[in-house]
Amino acid sequence: MQDAIQAKSALISVFNKEGLAPIVTKMHELGITLYSTGGTAAFIEAQGVPVLQVEDLTSYPSILGGRVKTLHPKVFGGILNRRSNENDQEELAQYSIPHLDIVLVDLYPFEDTVKSGASEADIIEKIDIGGISLIRAAAKNYKDVLCVSSVDDYDAFLALLESKNGKTELTDRKQFAANAFRVSSHYDTHIFNFFEEDNDALKLSYNDGKVLRYGENPHQKGTFFGDFDEVFFKHHGKALSYNNLLDVDAAVQLMAEFKDDAPTFAILKHNNACGLATRDNISQAYTDALAGDPVSAFGGVLIANTTIDPPTAEKINTLFCEVVIAPAFEANALKVLKQKKNRILLDLKSYPQPSTLVRSCLNGHLVQERDGITDDKSMLDEVTERKATAQEIDDLLFASKIAKHTKSNTIVLAKNGQLFAAGTGQTSRVDALNQSIEKAKHFGFDLTGAVMASDAFFPFPDCVEIANKAGIVAVIQPGGSIKDQLSIDYCNGNNLAMVMTGVRHFKH
């Protein structure tokens, strides 16, 4: 093994040829012999650069429609031989195998093919065999070989060629090898997840993590792994923080429940809705959402299910808020909202949401399916003598959507498509209810005729009794307690309507 090695030969086999021309031109100038095959060889020749066909080296043609091209001892021997090992060098001489000092590969785009919705047959054909084998071999032998494993490394490799005139040092080769194993690991993870059906193994892989200013608190480091630009178009504002991203995620998940509803506006703080309303226009929806808790709205995350117009923007502009999200903003609305230089303005795109949720737990991770059930009329079991009116049903389902996305234990109070108050994250359901009643009254709401949603069942009738005395007239809950009948009996004795859904919506 040598620290500094002057490259004399290179094997090139790439899918993405963008940016390849200056690389092969530079290698030719440096006197590096190039080996390639198929479309890559044709591309190199088109640049006026001489190239040796792998088929001539191996004395074996590309077969099976190109599935087998580089898988040959004369190729892998040239990569895997140890330059300092005498036996290895004797065998290379015996079998006329040339050294390959550089291996440059860009894999078939398997991940992008899956995302495109291509057929299974097309996806399978994008599982790279030769390329991934070349990467692993070259990276394993980094002490003697430089491995360039992705189009993302073309620029760095070209810079290395230009700065060191084709010479590579051990630190260079090891750095490129580390990235090569990152590429191969990421690639294999996505192939595994495409085939995995039993959910008995967890493999996650994200490239290009974005380092945040800090984590949940300034003394904690934080990084976001994901493709933010796939989800949003950012018009304006400062970089999003760890806490911003959590609130934005909560806002997006909540508003997805109202995606096809009339204009709806929500205001969130610490992942919970503090205001939400559905109205005939988005301006009024914002006004009534803000009325739910104008104090907590300060510094919150705002989201709409429809385009934000100038009248709504003028109202929002009087509030200090961190983030505003919508499917779109009218041009004059953007002009108004951009008056605050740090305010983050995001267009929400349509994107494929992950079907599973992952969180760290003890010395491992917990994985679960996303809660994809939204309570609707078909699920309602009217268990009381008094049946809910049509308006009450609408309000119950409205409140239930909010409860599903509020930290447990929660109680949500609503009326006429407006969130009056929510008790959030309480250790007792009674405490959650009392918190919501107190908060609603504090902000001037009359609870007479309002409805109540609970994320889980009532083990005792105390909650329906407290709600009744506060003016609540209808209740939605999952049911399932062995003492459900006690709550039903109280409702029947006090003219309350209650519906059960059979679906619990805990959120921890």
Catalytic residue chosen out of the listed positions 167, 270, 338, 340: 270
Using the CB atoms, write b or e for 104-137: b if 16+ within 10 Å: bbbbbbbbebbeeeeeeeebebbbbebbbbbbbb
Residue in this structure with the two tokens 């010479």, named with its chain if needed? 167
Tokens of 345: 């303005």
Strand boundaries in 363-444, DSSP class E: 364-369, 381-382, 411-415, 418-423
Smallest Cα–Cα separation from 68: which of 130, 121, 123?
130
3-state secondary structure of 394: helix
Backbone angles phi, psi at 231, to 5 degrees: -95, -35
Sign of CA dihedral 7, 57, 181, 229: positive
What residue type is 71 in one-letter code? L
Backbone angles phi, psi at 147, to 5 degrees: -115, 120
Examine the residue annotation and report whether 221 is marked as an active-site residue of this protein: no
Alpha helix stretches (DSSP H) within 106-261: 110-115, 120-125, 130-140, 154-164, 170-195, 228-231, 242-256
Alpha helix stretches (DSSP H) within 196-328: 228-231, 242-256, 282-291, 310-316
For residues 344 and 299, the answer to whether their CB atoms sit within 8 Å is: no
Tell me the C-alpha to C-alpha distance, in Å, between residue 467 and each of 271, 318, 437, 473.
Answer: 25, 35, 8, 8
Strand boundaries in 57-113, DSSP class E: 102-106
Examine the residue annotation and report whether 28 is marked as an active-site residue of this protein: no
Catalytic residue chosen out of the listed positions 8, 28, 140, 164: 140
Does the N-terminal peptide bond of residue 409 adopt cis geometry, omega within 30 degrees of 0? Answer: yes
Tokens of 96: 């006329």
HSE-up (13 A, CA, CB side) for residue 451: 31
Using the CB atoms, write b or e for 256-280: b if 16+ within 10 Å: ebbeeeebbbbbbbebbbbbbbbbe
Sequential DSSP letters for 447-498: -TT-EEEESS--SSTHHHHHHHHHT--EEEE----TTHHHHHHHHHHTT-EE
First and final CA of the chain: distance in angstroms? 55
In the DSSP assignment, the letter for residue 329 is B
Angle at 482 between CA 481 and CA 487, to 5 degrees: 65
- Would you name the residues annotated as active-site residues? 140, 270
